[in-house]
Structure 1
Amino acid sequence: MQHILNAPGRLTDRGRRFLATRARTVPFPAQDNPDDTEVIARLAPFPEVDATMTLARLRQAQDRYGGLVYPTSAWSFQEEIRFQPWPYYAESVDHGPLAEFIDHEVAHPYSVMLRSDGAVVYRFAIDVAVFADADALIEADALYWECESWIPVVEPKVGQSAAGVREAASQLSLIREGSGNTEWWWESDGFRVHLWRSFSELFQQERQAKRGLWARDEAGLRAAHRFLSGNNLR
């Protein structure tokens, strides 16, 4: 499998532009990379997991994402992150074996792991599957990046009430690329709504939820204010 910077595959045009603008690669540590036999042995304590399929997905992840580096303004990180798929296979009560995936500096989430089916899992006190796959995480980072050049309508901050946002935003078009299990993006009439519940799920604290709203231009700004007023979200 080719590296994502050389063969973006199913990434949207937005995702491709983001990587072309922000991303680079650093050497991925092939030395001491456990061979297939050792990886299979590490998976032996998980008889419910298809070890052959998990091994294949790990090697695909290493080929596609290994050494990818870029700065992200995603609310979960806001730093430079480095993709380093590695067969650590920590045990999760809810998710089975987890491989190491993203190296980062901020304290939370404590770890960003890769589940045997390719889902991206954040770890802290509990384990939360945030995205269905790594491409979805990259697409979310691309949405944050694009919003940096848009007009902020609702300034996101921790503790901001998210009540009613998802119900109201369900009237809009869901941006499936970049949305996951705990983070969602919607767009309509030149404005974009984001609901972020990753840390509220990870820390089991509702006050950690955040919402954001951006407009592409003045017309989108007027539409955004109509959306807020019409749904009592001011």
Structure 2
Amino acid sequence: MTRTGILGVSLIAMGTLGMACHAAETPLAAHLPPPVVADAPATTHHATAIFAGGCFWGVQSVFQHIRGVTATRAGYDGGARDTAEYETVGEGDTGHAESVAVEYDPTQVSYAALMRIFFSVALDPTQVNAQFPDTGSQYRSVLFTRTPEQAAEARAYIRQLDGAHVFARPVATQVVPDRGFYPAEDYHQNFAARHPDNPYIATYDTPRIDTLKMLYGGQYRDHPILALATPGEP
């Protein structure tokens, strides 16, 4: 299938985007219970969490609209530095997953709250090595944890969700220690914000933002926090 068929634009117009994301169904949306195991009182104004949940365009967009998030970056995690390149990752055998690094202020939003929104809005956490029609290990769902506390909270929340049977199938999201996040190419950064009229974004990613606002209005921000790009990037 060509990019023209999916997005209604030509391959030439899309340049090097290739097959970044295929057409997808609207993600599941559920107002999930808060994690029982929550963060300790914040002692810092800066922390980072890595989330992988299919195409990084939509995942980045969700986190850009959350109060307390201070920066995001689409990228690759789970593989080696020398394979952290879009076309190579797209082959599906690098170990990388399309991911988003989320920097946040723990005094304003907790890791527990970010996980809750991630599982509620950003993806279908029951899919294995896929998100909707996007298939391959690069589209798997992963929490790449930066600290033992994040790992403990992540595992506890997945047990909690499975124990409560909030989804029809068990949560397939992996919990893996982060060993290196590598930013993606500039043309992937802020893609949803830069191309709101793109047919793919309007059809499959904008509904996630609408759902975020509906379910978590108190944590929603209208204007996204955009990733810094290389000078000259639109």
The verdict on a shared fold, with TM-score over 0.5 as the criterion, is: no
Larger proportion of helix:
2
User: What TM-score do the two structures reach when normalised by structure 2?
Assistant: 0.24
Q: Larger radius of gyration, structure 1 or 2? A: 1
Q: Higher RCO, 1 or 2 (CA under 8 Å, sep at least 6)?
A: 2
